[in-house]
Chains A and B, each alone.
Chain A
Amino acid sequence: MELKEIQNLIKFVAKSGANEVKLEMKDFKITIKTGAGGKVTSIVQQVPAATVQVVPQTEIQAIPATEQKTESVNKKTDEANSYIEIKSPIIGTFYRKPSPDKPPFIKVGDDVEVGDTVCIIEAMKLFNEVESEISGKIVKILVDDSSPVEFDQPLYLVDPS
């Protein structure tokens, strides 16, 4: 199956309104899931394990056919593994908002771009605006507003797909 065909298939599934489509062909298996936000994720399992080029806005992972039996388990771990953490670069106090009366920099479900400010870490009256090094969708906020954070403590979970 060509990359172009996979892209078309994903577009088709997204338009169809189906939540999940599984397709098995002789040398690979593909699962396309549509998320709540209308975005599409797809998981491709190919035999033999090979590198699959990344299609924009999709998540493609090559998994050897031998692991197909434990598919559901694998999918879970793979999803968790595919998330990236934004970590605290310093010790300090974590603030989600630029100031108390302003909305938060970022919420769950928001898209974050490289260079976007995601939070402030205050240390010794120095206000550090932390810029994201990755782009993706915020999946989870791991720290409460105004709480202390350690160096390297994960702050956000980001889906980079």
Chain B
Amino acid sequence: MNIVKLDAINSTNQFLKELVKSNDVDNWTVVTTEYQISGRGQMQTKWISEKNKNLLFSVLIRFNELNANHQFYMNCAISLGIYKTLTKHKIEGLTIKWPNDILAGNKKIAGILIENALVKDSIKHTVVGIGLNVNQIEFPVLLPNATSMKLLLNKDFNRDLLLKEIVDNLKYYINFIEKKEFIFLKEQYEKVLYKIGVVHSFESNKEQVFTGKITGINQQGKLLVEQENKVIKEYNYKEIKFM
């Protein structure tokens, strides 16, 4: 495994993206850091992590051919890779919250940031940023919904071994994308989807609160929610919030 270890960096995704531009970087190159100065979750949210406690890394994945239409399967493959690793370590109550958060119970244990490089409608390569809470046991008051492997299992984990396990599991699931076995990924993903088949409250982007039941995802990765009148509606990310 090609691995670049950094003590502190703005963002491992940013570092890896720039590395790819200026050098011939091997597929599955990993960049890790102990501390991210401006690590980000989504466009606005920051990823807060204590030094030397967690896994913060980015992986480069190159594709021979992946159409942008199939990009949601990246969310499936990456989430499933982390899910599988954590399951092996006997963490209970694991689910994938659509589209790509990893939860243990109702708390977030890992976050993913996927950045694709697109030429026309095909994905040349992807930089996947992963933050996994490993040995951190104290979280800011601002993050009441965060948890870690140590908080849940009361023991320390070897982060180097964990990293290798995750990368191996990512390779396992990415291989299904290479083989275009998308249905398998979709089925595996839906099996462990947070709140699937359960009546739950949501808020739509029109600020309407409603109850419904997640039935799965469609081929574009939109969330399918059965309404009270039994009609199934599709939701884009940002069109629906979990209450």
Tell me the nearest residue of chain B to A148, going by C-beta.
B236
Establish whether residues A124 and B237, one from each chain, have CB atoms under 8 Å apart when the complex forms: yes
A99 with B68, Cβ < 8 A, contacts A125-B237, A131-B119, A133-B119 known: no
Tell me the nearest residue of chain B to A129, going by C-beta.
B117
Establish whether residues B117 and A99, one from each chain, have CB atoms under 8 Å apart when the complex forms: no
Within B83-113, which residues are at the interface with A (CB < 8 Å)?
99-100, 113
Partner of A90, one of B75, B121, B236: B121
Establish whether residues B120 and A126, one from each chain, have CB atoms under 8 Å apart when the complex forms: no
Residues on B with C-beta less than 8 A from A123 are 71, 237
Establish whether residues A99 and B43, one from each chain, have CB atoms under 8 Å apart when the complex forms: yes
Partner of B72, one of A121, A124, A130: A124
Q: How far is the CB of B77 from chain A (nearest CB, A)?
A: 12
Establish whether residues A127 and B75, one from each chain, have CB atoms under 8 Å apart when the complex forms: no
Establish whether residues B43 and A124, one from each chain, have CB atoms under 8 Å apart when the complex forms: no
Residues on B with C-beta less than 8 A from A91 are 220
Interface membership of chain A positions 109-140, coded 1 if the CB is closer than 8 angstroms to chain B and 0 otherwise: 00000000100011111111111010000000
Q: Determine if A94 is an interface residue (Cβ-Cβ < 8 Å).
A: no
Residues on B with C-beta less than 8 A from A129 are 17, 115-118
Chain B CB within 10 Å — which of A95, A100, A128, A131 has the most? A128
Q: Determine if A89 is an interface residue (Cβ-Cβ < 8 Å).
A: yes
Residues on B with C-beta less than 8 A from A117 are 117
Establish whether residues A90 and B120, one from each chain, have CB atoms under 8 Å apart when the complex forms: no
Q: Determine if B159 is an interface residue (Cβ-Cβ < 8 Å).
A: no
A100 with B43, Cβ < 8 A, contacts A126-B114, A129-B118 known: yes
A127 with B117, Cβ < 8 A, contacts A95-B43, A99-B40, A99-B43 known: no
Q: How far is the CB of B170 from chain A (nearest CB, A)?
A: 16
Q: How far is the CB of A46 from chain B (nearest CB, A)?
A: 34
Q: How far is the CB of A148 from chain B (nearest CB, A)?
A: 9
Establish whether residues B118 and A89, one from each chain, have CB atoms under 8 Å apart when the complex forms: yes
Q: Determine if B212 is an interface residue (Cβ-Cβ < 8 Å).
A: no
Q: How far is the CB of B131 from chain A (nearest CB, A)?
A: 14
Establish whether residues A125 and B115, one from each chain, have CB atoms under 8 Å apart when the complex forms: no
A128 with B116, Cβ < 8 A, contacts A95-B43, A100-B43, A100-B44 known: yes
Establish whether residues B71 and A126, one from each chain, have CB atoms under 8 Å apart when the complex forms: yes
Chain A CB within 10 Å — which of B99, B113, B118 has the most? B118
Residues on A with C-beta less than 8 A from B44 are 100
The docked-state distance in angstroms from the alpha carbon of A89 to that of B119 is: 8
Interface membership of chain B positions 123-161, coded 1 if the CB is closer than 8 angstroms to chain A and 0 otherwise: 110000000000000000000000000000000000000
Establish whether residues A89 and B117, one from each chain, have CB atoms under 8 Å apart when the complex forms: no
Establish whether residues A128 and B68, one from each chain, have CB atoms under 8 Å apart when the complex forms: yes
A127 with B118, Cβ < 8 A, contacts A90-B69, A100-B43, A100-B44 known: no
A127 with B120, Cβ < 8 A, contacts A89-B68, A90-B69, A100-B43 known: no
Tell me the nearest residue of chain B to A152, going by C-beta.
B121
Residues on A with C-beta less than 8 A from B69 are 90
Residues on B with C-beta less than 8 A from A100 are 43-44
Q: Determine if B221 is an interface residue (Cβ-Cβ < 8 Å).
A: yes
Establish whether residues A124 and B236, one from each chain, have CB atoms under 8 Å apart when the complex forms: yes
Interface membership of chain B positions 35-65, coded 1 if the CB is closer than 8 angstroms to chain A and 0 otherwise: 0000010111000000000000000000000
Jot down 28 A-B pairs with beta carbons below 8 A, ordered by A: A89-B118, A90-B69, A90-B118, A93-B238, A99-B43, A121-B118, A123-B71, A124-B99, A124-B220, A125-B42, A125-B75, A125-B237, A126-B71, A126-B72, A126-B74, A126-B75, A126-B99, A126-B114, A126-B115, A126-B116, A127-B115, A128-B68, A128-B71, A128-B115, A129-B115, A129-B116, A131-B119, A133-B119
Known: A126-B74, A126-B115, A129-B17. 10 other contacts (CB 8 A): A90-B121, A124-B236, A125-B114, A126-B116, A127-B116, A128-B71, A128-B115, A128-B123, A129-B117, A131-B124
